[in-house]
């Protein structure tokens, strides 16, 4: 299986420096633990490209699982009585969550969410998609959504017949869970789109970002972020934004340490999968979909997210105030509460 990355973040970090003199011993302990976890995650990211082991999903490939429905959950499960956690678990039938990252990310981005879900007694699993995280596949060879989503497909195919999971897809990862809903509907209890590309039949994942990036045709011809892995004279094979632009698009509310982690961990994304039109049938449309909107998102604006849920209504819509495009970094506690809330919906 290779390495398994497990974290135990207790709560979001806020305005730490100014309170250091006045905090008690227990608070200092929590902050020290968080500081250690950040250093651990950053150290892990720096070593990613030196690792050659293949996990069932990959470092990034394999970390966790979760879900949730609104019930005024406390801010931190770690301080709750065991009975409270037990009561929550009794209300959750499907405890395994499969976390699917977005473009350029890897399973590493879910480290806070994995820790919180595990503390709540749930079973999170995170994968690196093909050519992402520490998966060594050359992105220039990844041309279809099926190839890009293969780690997820392999995982679902190997599930026992009577076992189901909750899928959580971030950003372009929304296309991957849509693909999974179409091909493995019997294995999926609920699908949660986290500021994600929740497309309709015949739509490309890229189309969701058209307001920010222009038409697909114009992007393919003019974008300076394209990668021509097979030579300039041939069609582009991937893309990656410059670091400063990436910070503004994805991480405008994320802690600086997590931004540093992302800057050494982000990888180019294959272009083919996001330009592919999805073929979705009743298998997809009859599945249980939920959408989580991020209200300070510069990559997929709140207006675009609202348009997505209006044109393709899910079963439930949840909102995270003050979150950028990466709520698993900027608002992990808020995200966690919503996941658990959705998980509890009968």
pLDDT of residue 79: 40
Q: List the beta bridge partners of residue 269.
A: 239
Q: 33 vs 14, 38, 39, 258, 346, CA distance in Å?
A: 14, 9, 10, 15, 36
pTM higher than the cut 0.85: no
* Residue 183 designated active-site: no
pLDDT of residue 218: 76
Please state the φ and ψ torsions of residue 181, each to the nearest 5 degrees: -65, -35
216-250 burial by CB neighbour count: b if 16+ within 10 A, else e?
beebeeeeebbbebeeeeeebbbbbbeeeebbebb
Within a domain: residue 128?
Answer: yes
Q: Tell me the average pLDDT across 26-33.
A: 48
Within a domain: residue 233?
Answer: yes
List Cβ neighbours of 299 (8 Å cut-off, separation of 6 or more). 171, 195, 209, 212, 249, 250, 324, 325
* Residue 12 designated active-site: no
Within a domain: residue 191?
Answer: yes
Q: What percent of the chain has pLDDT over 70?
A: 74
Considering 58, 68, 171, 301, which one is annotated as catalytic? 171
Within a domain: residue 42?
Answer: no
Domain count, the chain: 1
Q: Tell me the average pLDDT across 25-42.
A: 50
Q: 279 vs 181, 200, 275, CA distance in Å?
A: 11, 8, 13
Per-residue pLDDT tens digits for 72-127: 333 333 344 333 666 678 889 999 999 999 999 999 999 999 999 999 999 999 99
Within a domain: residue 51?
Answer: no
Show the tokens assigned to 182.
């179409």
Within a domain: residue 291?
Answer: yes
> Is residue 126 a contact partner of residue 202, using CB atoms and an 8 Å limit?
no
CATH number at residue 129: 3.40.50.1820
Within a domain: residue 79?
Answer: no
Mean pLDDT for the chain overall: 81
pLDDT-derived band at 46, boundaries 50, 70, 90: very low
Instruction: Give the residue with greater pLDDT, 217 vs 246.
Output: 246
Within a domain: residue 149?
Answer: yes
Per-residue pLDDT tens digits for 155-192: 999 999 999 999 999 999 999 999 999 999 999 999 99
Considering 101, 183, 325, 336, which one is annotated as catalytic? 325
Considering 297, 323, 334, 336, which one is annotated as catalytic? 297
Domain residue limits at 254 = 84-344
* Residue 211 designated active-site: no
């Amino acid at each position: 299986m290779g390495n398994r990355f497990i974290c135990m973040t207790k709560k979001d970090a806020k305005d730490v420096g100014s309170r250091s003199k006045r905090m008690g011993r227990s608070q200092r302990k929590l902050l020290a633990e968080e500081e250690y976890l950040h250093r651990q995650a950053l150290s892990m990211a720096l070593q990613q490209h030196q690792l050659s082991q293949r996990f069932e999903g990959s470092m990034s490939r394999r970390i966790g699982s979760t879900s949730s429905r609104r019930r005024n959950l406390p801010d931190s499960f770690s301080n709750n009585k065991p009975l409270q956690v037990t009561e929550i678990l009794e209300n959750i039938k499907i405890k395994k969550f499969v976390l699917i990252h977005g473009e350029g990310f890897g399973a590493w981005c879910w480290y806070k969410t994995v820790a919180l879900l595990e503390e709540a007694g749930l079973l999170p699993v995170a994968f690196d998609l093909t050519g992402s995280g520490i998966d060594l596949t050359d992105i220039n060879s990844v041309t279809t959504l099926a190839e890009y989503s293969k780690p997820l497909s392999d995982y679902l195919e190997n599930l026992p017949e009577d076992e189901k999971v909750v899928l959580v897809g971030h950003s372009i990862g929304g296309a991957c869970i849509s693909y999974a809903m179409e091909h493995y509907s019997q294995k999926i209890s609920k699908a949660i789109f986290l500021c994600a590309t929740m497309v309709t039949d015949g739509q490309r994942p890229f189309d969701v970002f058209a307001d920010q990036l222009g038409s697909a045709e114009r992007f393919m011809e003019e974008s300076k972020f394209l990668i021509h892995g097979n030579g300039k004279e041939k069609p582009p094979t991937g893309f990656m934004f410059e670091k400063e632009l990436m910070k503004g698009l994805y991480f405008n509310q994320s802690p600086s340490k997590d931004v540093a982690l992302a800057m050494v961990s982000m990888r180019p994304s294959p272009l083919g999968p996001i330009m592919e039109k999805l073929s979705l049938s009743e298998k997809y449309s009859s599945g249980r979909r939920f959408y989580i909107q991020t209200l300070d998102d510069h990559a997929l604006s709140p207006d675009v997210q609202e348009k997505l849920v209006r044109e393709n209504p899910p079963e439930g819509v949840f909102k995270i105030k003050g979150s950028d495009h990466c709520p698993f970094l900027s608002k992990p506690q808020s995200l966690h509460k919503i996941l658990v809330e959705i998980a509890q919906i009968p």
